[in-house]
């Protein structure tokens, strides 16, 4: 019999749209409405059954044996790395941080390959920001800088930024939309998969973002437009005259390896800092905000949990018994390139392909534990592989939208797979018994067996 659910949160991207209607048919196919290829593909891929749930060195194994092997690997490691977390939810992220602290290793999230430079920039200069709901209700000028929402966030324009009717705007008719980006790409970018186009397109020369932001700031503070390009003069006019403006910026501005293999001189954090300063200064004229276009479904949640647990958002080292933070020193790609770590736990491996070649090579040389969702392909042969239940399909959990608004996911249909939280807690209890989780002990005592078994 077909099953259907309404108002389902979708972790397919960081928009986490919560107006989804799902129907699972008898033949296993899924009807996903409103249409979004990323959301539909996410639910279809992760809801399919898997033949091999647990393996050790590419051979089928029991979960208990895999836990024991993972614990022996981490217990013997001098400096293990725990990386990923953006496919998880708050319970799994907390367990990952706790394990990293207990082992005296390092915990890093996918932000170090994604919006890490943006996080560094806002730590330096601050961020004037808002929720997506405020944008939908108030913004009459929307700027996309260094991002193509039609490809990365198919429903962003439809639901949050361009087309929705709000309390103070009548949808697209009341909004001016601008796209700023690489001169070789921006003319092909669109607002949504239907091909909707912006009102103004501003091409930027390679590595020219900082110069463009500097010209805009100069025009704002001095009123002198003589040296600015015509498109930038037009943009400043729109910015000065709007009632509420917002700039959504992406990896084309942050310039990380997930956007391009040529990261130049790694100046993405400087470019983002300049843009955030421009947004801050604009508030002397009108209301203006900025928002990062986060990619993975719960990468914002990973930042939030890391900050809550350690005081820092990513790249946190526990080797001295307390958290230390230094991007470039304690971030996964650089740690692997230098050969600093001797074991690795991947809690979701979707961004491993963006590591540098030396980092990927090092990952193949050290013992690796992969904890990931069903039917996820990765170019890696882990020592231990454990397939876990999916937050938002098999089990409930809290994830964070790109504007840091927490969303509660649902349990739609049951699964015998353990959660990543249960796996990580069991590994911690095995490899560092004196730090065994009280929560796990209580759950084992109540049920008479390991907590994973009744998931």
Neighbour tally for 283: CB within 10 Å: 12
Task: Assess whether 304 and 385 both reside in one domain.
Answer: yes
Task: Assess whether 210 and 223 both reside in one domain.
Answer: yes
- What is the reported pTM? 0.90
Displacement of CA 111 from its chain's centroid (Å): 7
In a domain, 257, yes or no: yes
Q: What pLDDT is stored for residue 2 in this prediction?
A: 80
Residue 33, domain extent:
3-39
In a domain, 48, yes or no: no
In a domain, 366, yes or no: yes
Question: CB within 8 A of 429, min separation 6: which ones?
Answer: 435, 436, 437, 440
Tokens of 411: 């349990």
Q: Point out the least confidently predicted range of 33-37, 132-136, 238-242, 377-381.
A: 377-381
pLDDT tops 50 at residue 31: yes
In a domain, 376, yes or no: yes
Interhelix angle for 63-76 vs 420-431, to 10°?
A: 50
Contact 314, 327 (CB under 8 A): yes
State the number of CA atoms in the 13 A half-sphere of 385 facing the CB. Answer: 23
Identify each DSSP E strand in 219-319 by its residue range.
Answer: 244-249, 287-292, 316-317
Task: Assess whether 165 and 218 both reside in one domain.
Answer: yes
Q: Is 133 exposed, middle or buried (0-12, 13-18, 19+ CB in 10 A)?
A: middle
Q: Which of 272, 292, 312 is the last residue of a domain?
A: 292
Residue with tokens 């020193």: 329
Task: Assess whether 254 and 145 both reside in one domain.
Answer: yes
pLDDT tops 90 at residue 28: no
Q: What pLDDT is stored for residue 446 in this prediction?
A: 38
Question: Sign of dihedral through CA atoms 16, 17, 18, 22?
Answer: negative
Q: What pLDDT is stored for residue 414 in this prediction?
A: 86
> Pairing between strand 343-347 and 80-84?
parallel
Q: CA end-to-end span of the chain, whole Å?
A: 23
Q: What percent of the chain has pLDDT over 70?
A: 93
Which DSSP string do the residues of 54-89 spell out, in sequence order?
EEETTEE--HHHHHHHHHHHHHH-SSEEEEE-TTS-
State the number of CA atoms in the 13 A half-sphere of 441 facing the CB. Answer: 9
pLDDT tops 80 at residue 85: yes
> Pairing between strand 384-387 and 141-145?
unpaired
C-alpha span between 49 and 389 (Å, rounded): 11
pLDDT tops 70 at residue 264: no
In a domain, 335, yes or no: yes
Task: Assess whether 142 and 260 both reside in one domain.
Answer: yes
Q: Which of 292, 310, 332 is the last residue of a domain?
A: 292
Cα Rg of the chain, angstroms = 23
Q: What pLDDT is stored for residue 440 in this prediction?
A: 44
In a domain, 180, yes or no: yes
pLDDT tops 90 at residue 177: yes
Q: What pLDDT is stored for residue 258 in this prediction?
A: 60
Cα 246–Cα 249–Cα 251 angle in degrees, nearest 5 = 175
Q: Point out the least confidently predicted range of 164-168, 414-418, 430-434.
A: 430-434
Q: What percent of the chain has pLDDT over 90?
A: 80
Task: Assess whether 273 and 342 both reside in one domain.
Answer: no
Count of structural domains within the chain: 3
Q: What pLDDT is stored for residue 257 in this prediction?
A: 59
Q: What pLDDT is stored for residue 433 in this prediction?
A: 63
Task: Assess whether 168 and 312 both reside in one domain.
Answer: no
Q: Point out the least confidently predicted range of 32-36, 179-183, 256-260.
A: 256-260
Q: What pLDDT is stored for residue 296 in this prediction?
A: 86
Task: Assess whether 226 and 309 both reside in one domain.
Answer: no
Q: Point out the least confidently predicted range of 13-17, 335-339, 349-353.
A: 349-353
C-alpha span between 15 and 156 (Å, rounded): 7
Question: CB within 8 A of 340, min separation 6: which ones?
Answer: 79
Task: Assess whether 256 and 383 both reside in one domain.
Answer: no
In a domain, 426, yes or no: yes
Domain at 148, CATH number: 3.40.228.10
Task: Assess whether 253 and 312 both reside in one domain.
Answer: no
- Report pLDDT digits (tens) over 192-247: 999 999 999 999 998 899 999 999 999 999 988 888 899 999 999 999 999 999 99
pLDDT tops 60 at residue 308: yes
In a domain, 33, yes or no: yes
* Helices first, then strands: H and E counts in the chain: 16, 19
Nearest to 181, CA basis, from 202, 211, 196, 155: 202
Q: Which of 271, 292, 313 is the last residue of a domain?
A: 292
Task: Assess whether 240 and 141 both reside in one domain.
Answer: yes
Contact 98, 437 (CB under 8 A): yes
C-alpha span between 197 and 21 (Å, rounded): 28
Domain at 327, CATH number: 3.40.50.740
Give whole-number Cα distances, 55 to 82, 109, 135, 166, in Å: 19, 24, 46, 51
Contact 281, 247 (CB under 8 A): no
Peptide bond into 34 cis (omega under 30): yes
Contact 145, 181 (CB under 8 A): yes
Q: What pLDDT is stored for residue 47 in this prediction?
A: 86
pLDDT band at 326 (very low <50, low <70, confident <90, very high): very high
pLDDT tops 60 at residue 11: yes
Task: Assess whether 145 and 196 both reside in one domain.
Answer: yes
């Amino acid at each position: 019999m077909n099953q259907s659910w309404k108002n389902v949160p979708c972790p397919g991207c960081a928009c986490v749209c919560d107006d989804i209607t799902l129907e699972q048919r008898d033949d296993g196919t899924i009807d996903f409405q409103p249409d979004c290829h990323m959301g539909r593909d996410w639910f279809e891929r992760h809801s399919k059954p898997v033949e091999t749930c647990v393996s050790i060195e590419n051979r089928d194994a029991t979960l208990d044996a895999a836990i024991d092997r993972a614990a022996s690997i981490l217990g013997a490691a001098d400096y293990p790395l725990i990386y990923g977390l953006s496919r998880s939810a708050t319970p799994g992220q907390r367990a990952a941080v706790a394990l990293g602290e207990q082992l005296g290793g390092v915990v890093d999230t996918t932000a170090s390959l994604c919006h890490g430079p943006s996080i560094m920039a806002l730590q330096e200069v601050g961020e004037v920001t808002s929720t997506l709901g405020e944008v939908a209700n108030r913004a009459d000028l929307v700027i996309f800088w260094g991002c193509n929402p039609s490809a990365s966030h198919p429903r962003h324009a439809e639901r949050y930024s361009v087309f929705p009717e709000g309390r103070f705007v009548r949808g697209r008719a009341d909004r001016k939309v601008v796209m700023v980006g690489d001169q070789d790409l921006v003319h092909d970018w669109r607002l949504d998969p239907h091909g909707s186009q912006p009102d103004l397109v501003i091409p930027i020369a390679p590595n020219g973002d900082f110069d463009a932001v500097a010209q805009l700031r100069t025009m704002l503070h001095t009123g002198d437009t003589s040296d600015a390009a015509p498109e930038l003069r037009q943009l400043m006019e729109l910015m000065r005259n709007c009632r509420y403006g917002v700039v959504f910026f992406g990896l084309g501005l942050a310039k990380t390896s997930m956007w391009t293999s040529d990261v130049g001189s790694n100046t993405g954090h400087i470019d983002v800092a300049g843009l955030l300063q421009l947004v801050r200064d604009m508030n002397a004229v009108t209301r203006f905000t900025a928002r990062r276009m986060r990619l993975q479904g719960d990468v914002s949640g990973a930042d939030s949990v890391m900050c809550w647990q350690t005081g820092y958002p990513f790249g946190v080292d526990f080797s001295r018994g307390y958290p230390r933070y230094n991007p470039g020193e304690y971030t996964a790609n650089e740690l692997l390139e230098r050969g600093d770590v001797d074991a690795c736990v991947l809690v979701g491996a979707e961004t491993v392909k963006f590591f540098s070649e030396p980092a990927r090579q090092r990952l193949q040389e050290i013992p690796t534990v992969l904890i990931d969702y069903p039917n996820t392909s990765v170019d890696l042969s882990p020592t231990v592989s454990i397939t876990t239940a999916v937050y938002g399909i098999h089990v409930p959990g809290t994830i964070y939208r790109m504007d840091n608004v927490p969303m509660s996911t649902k349990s739609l249909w049951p699964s015998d797979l353990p959660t990543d939280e249960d796996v990580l807690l069991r590994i911690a209890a095995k490899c560092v018994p004196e730090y065994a989780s009280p929560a796990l002990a209580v759950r084992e005592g109540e049920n008479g067996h390991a907590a994973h078994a009744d998931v």
